[in-house]
Structure 1
Amino acid sequence: MSILRYMQPARIRAKLMALSHQHPVDTLIDSLLVPVRQRLKLDQNTSLVISSMLDGLLIDCVALFLAEARKKNGKETLLVGWSNEDRTRLWLEAWRLSQRGWHVNVLAEPLESPRPELFPGQHIFVWTGRAATPLQEELLSHWQEQGFSIHFHGQIKRPDPWCGSGLECWVTGESGSRI
Structure 2
Amino acid sequence: MKLTFETAPDAVNHVLCSKIPDVLRKSSAGRNAFDVSAVSIGALGPFPLYVADISASGAMSKPKFFAWRFLLLNGEFAISAADVSNVEKDHLVLSSVHFGRGARKTQEGIRFAQSVAGGSARMRLLSIPRMHMLVIWLLARKTIFVITDASENIIKLSRSEFIANLSERHENQRRRRRLTN
Q: Same fold (TM over 0.5)?
A: no
Q: Which has the higher strand share?
A: 2
Q: Which has the higher helix share?
A: 1
Q: TM-score, normalised by structure 1?
A: 0.25
Q: TM-score, normalised by structure 2?
A: 0.25
Determine which structure has greater relative contact order: mean sequence separation of CA pairs < 8 Å that are 6+ residues apart, divided by chain length.
Answer: 2
